[in-house]
Homo-oligomer: A and B are copies of this chain.
Amino acid sequence: MRTALDLVRSFQANEPRSAADLAAPYRAVRRATESLVAPLSSEDCALQSMPDCSPTKWHMAHTSWFFETFVLEPTLAGYQWFNPTFRVLFNSYYQSVGEQYARPRRALLTRPSLDEVKRYRQHVDEQMAALFENPNPSHELAAIVELGIHHEQQHQELILTDLKHLFSFNPLHPVYQPRAIEPIAAIKTIEWMGFEGGLTSIGHGGSGFAFDNEGPRHRVYLQSYRLASRLVTNGEFVAFIEAGGYDRPEYWLSDGWNKICAESWRHPLYWERRDGAWFVHTLHGFVPLDLSEPACHISYYEADAYAHFAGARLPTEMEWEHAAERIQPAGNFVESGRFHPAPLGNADGGMQQLFGDVWEWTASSYSPYPGFTPPAGALGEYNGKFMSSQMVLRGGSCATPMSHIRASYRNFFPPDARWQFSGIRLAHDA
């Protein structure tokens, strides 16, 4: 029989803390999920707007399933599942664990109810609490618990992006959290920050938690390059639209051109033109577009086309990480309670908005670093098997928990994905 030990041996954690140390972060993250869900009705939590999205209720249950599957069951002798059917219902994509309930059908499940899912979470929390009291847990167990905490933070972001997508179809324009409209800020011109080329290293290498796909740290050779000091704004993206950006194939990758023709894309997701003015669907309602905010809900295709239009290019993930390593993550994260990108304001010089606001598309496809091997067993399915036809995004967004992000963090989505908080930072050869 497979044990926690087996699972963990295959997982690349660095210096796992002891289980007892994890009790507080565990509780904090679990409570953060519940606080995100608090403003929602049981109906809000049950629906799903496309196969890539999941109902809030499903996210709440799946993150609990993760602890039940990878921590409680292998550790506690004779552990009884809260409900054995949940083993299949809330398995996302772990083939090694067994069957999965089909993703596009997650919106067909009226049961378990939201109340029962809350009871499920409470049950798992109680079992975990018992586990944390173990005076002598293994380092391996601690590593999986830590993974589960970071896993739940990833789903916190998805709860917000999936909910935003769902609400966007409702002509009643539901509001997740109201917010006063702010005056439009003045935006400074982009400065170009230079970086010397040469042999350097990227990838997670130090202590602290990281996902397996962030390592091993390895040498890369970079040409000299320049990065824009800030993100591309809505105002700048409007200029692209007004210059016929969506009508001129010369800006677009061939796949991108086919996509915008097939889907009749004429602007970023959630934008709408009414009587000559731009409006946008947000988590605080349907509001006039603020031109000073970072452009958001942009696909890779649109980011790349914009870069061509602007006579620039997107940075590679190596260039991005090399620039970001020197900078302490700070910015507009989920904790701000804004749930929306923020205008830059009167920032001092230097690199701005590298962390938070919007995930930044890079020109790098999602591939394994040299020496990367996905671990054996179910947790080996966490990252490695998705390394195909996706692009890397960096830096976190206004829906990301701040404690979740770091310079080496690699997010990834297909080039046509738009429902994440994703935007554009430009780059140039030196």
In the complex, A85 has a CB within 8 A of chain B:
yes
Q: How far is the CA of A215 from the CA of B423 in the complex (A)?
A: 29
CB-nearest residue of chain B to A378: B250
Query: From residue A48, how far is it (CB to closest CB) to chain B in Å?
Result: 8
A365-B367, A429-B370 are known contacts. Are A255 and B110 too (CB-CB below 8 A)?
A: no
In the complex, A273 has a CB within 8 A of chain B:
no
Q: How far is the CA of A257 from the CA of B93 in the complex (A)?
A: 11
User: Which stretch in A37-45, A180-188, A232-240, A397-405 binds the other chain?
Assistant: A37-45
Cβ–Cβ contact B220 & A93, under 8 A: no
In the complex, A252 has a CB within 8 A of chain B:
yes
For A43, list chain B residues within 8 Å (CB). Answer: 42-43, 46, 110-111, 113-114
Cβ–Cβ contact A108 & B169, under 8 A: yes
Cβ–Cβ contact B170 & A223, under 8 A: no
Contact with B along A235-274 (1 / 0, CB 8 A): 0000000000000011011111100000000000000000
Contact with B along A100-123 (1 / 0, CB 8 A): 010001011111111000000000
Query: Known contacts A46-B110, A89-B171; can you find 11 more A-B pairs with CB under 8 A?
Result: A41-B110, A42-B42, A43-B46, A47-B47, A47-B110, A93-B254, A110-B170, A218-B223, A219-B221, A253-B387, A301-B388
In the complex, A49 has a CB within 8 A of chain B:
yes
How many copies of this protein are present in the complex?
4
- Give the interface size bracket for A toward B: 35 or more
Cβ–Cβ contact B429 & A253, under 8 A: no
Q: List 5 A-B contacts (CB under 8 A).
A: A47-B108, A89-B171, A89-B172, A95-B257, A254-B386
For A350, list chain B residues within 8 Å (CB). Answer: none
CB-nearest residue of chain B to A56: B110
Cβ–Cβ contact A415 & B429, under 8 A: no
In the complex, A389 has a CB within 8 A of chain B:
yes
Cβ–Cβ contact B370 & A363, under 8 A: no
Cβ–Cβ contact B386 & A253, under 8 A: yes
Cβ–Cβ contact A108 & B415, under 8 A: no
CB-nearest residue of chain B to A220: B221
Q: How far is the CA of A88 from the CA of B169 in the complex (A)?
A: 13
